[in-house]
Amino acid sequence: SSRYQAALTFLWPGIGITAMVTVIAYLVASLLGLVLAGLQMLPLGERTLRNYLIAAAAVLLVSTVLHTRPKEQYVLFGETGGRVAIIQGTPTAQADQVRLGQFPGAEGVMGVRAVVDAAAALDRIETGVVTSAFVPREVLPEGADVLWETSFLAPGLKRPAVLLLVLGAMLLALTFAAWQSGHHPLRLASELYVDLLRGIPMLVVILYVGFPLQGAIRDATGGLIDMSRVTRGIVGIGLGYAAYMAEIFRAGIEAIGRGQTEAARSLGLSNWQTARYVILPQALRIVVPPLGNEFIAMLKDTSLLSVLSVRDITQRAREFQAANFEVFPPFNTVALLYIVLTLAASSLAKSVERRATWTR
């Protein structure tokens, strides 16, 4: 009917988004999964623990040096009865203390007027636009009434200092765990990643990447990295499915007989050459069927990206329903489109599987 034709016309552009997200996320998950599987095969060398301990100590030392750098001194001066001028770029924690009145002598929540620099803040004070300002101590006018004074590490130093502290702590934890278990630290990190991501629902992974993680990355980079909604969706699905891909690749690699590795080494092949020319070609043929299943599952899970307002066919169906107050035409159409897409993907996967089986 005309309603279904209208729904199909509206949903049609979303097919390209769905296909693009699926293919790119599949490539990301495959590459990351292969890397994770490779890390799980790493042996613990004689100097591995020592090297990781040195690296952790160096990272923590740099973090300590950054934390001990001179701190910036800021003062709040004026009167608390009106609005306060806060310079753009002031750390959120200190700005919130001023805004919410969380300092000695505060009379309650204060209205905020954002300014570009200290000179603009002083100008707002002089013109009466605001009654107080939160500025660096070196620009404090003589004789001004100081309401509150604080110090903090500059954001340009605090962000790398905190990141290095976390990295150093993780390296120390992995080194200790490796010493206790006798496994390579990166192997333990890979296994931890796989176990954690497999235990979290895909929707939660997408929401976590789409909102809190994206915000943290944007703040940490000063807005330099600001992922679009489509990119967030691709990263979320890729990170989530990489854990499953890693297990598939690991099973395929372990299915190769140990004798083939020993034969390759007897021929003088290095570890990299053995993996590149002997192990991986055979393992990839073994894992073709489950990899095809993962592609189909990933194709269907792209519908979860509608929670990020990514305009795939599911999101477009929701938009059509909201605009026309019709439920069955858009969602029946989107269900049929997914069936067609999954059948096409299944046929492609079976074709690749037959070729892989034929070339063994």
Summarised one tens digit per residue, pLDDT across range 173-229 is 999 999 999 999 999 999 999 999 999 999 999 999 999 999 888 877 777 889 999
Summarised one tens digit per residue, pLDDT across range 3-43 is 999 999 999 999 999 999 999 999 999 999 999 999 998 88
Q: Are residues 109 and 218 in the same domain?
A: no
How many other C-beta atoms lie within 10 A of the C-beta of residue 355?
11
**Residue ranges in the chain whose pLDDT is less than 50:** none
Residue 83, burial from CB neighbour count under 10 angstroms (0-12, 13-18, 19+):
middle
User: How much is the pLDDT for 257?
Assistant: 82
CATH number for the domain spanning 261: value is: 1.10.3720.10
Q: Are residues 206 and 333 in the same domain?
A: yes
User: How much is the pLDDT for 140?
Assistant: 92
pTM, two decimals, is 0.84
The reply to whether 61 falls in a domain is no
User: How much is the pLDDT for 344?
Assistant: 96
Indicate the residue among 94, 128, 152 that finishes a domain.
Answer: 152
User: How much is the pLDDT for 92?
Assistant: 84
User: How much is the pLDDT for 9?
Assistant: 95
Q: Are residues 136 and 232 in the same domain?
A: no
DSSP string, 174-194: HHHHHHHH-S-HHHHHHHHHH
Q: Are residues 232 and 346 in the same domain?
A: yes
Give me 152's structure tokens: 């903090």
3-state secondary structure of 31: helix
Find where tokens 């059509």 sit. 320
* Count: domains in the chain: 2
- 309 lies in which domain range? 2-43+184-358
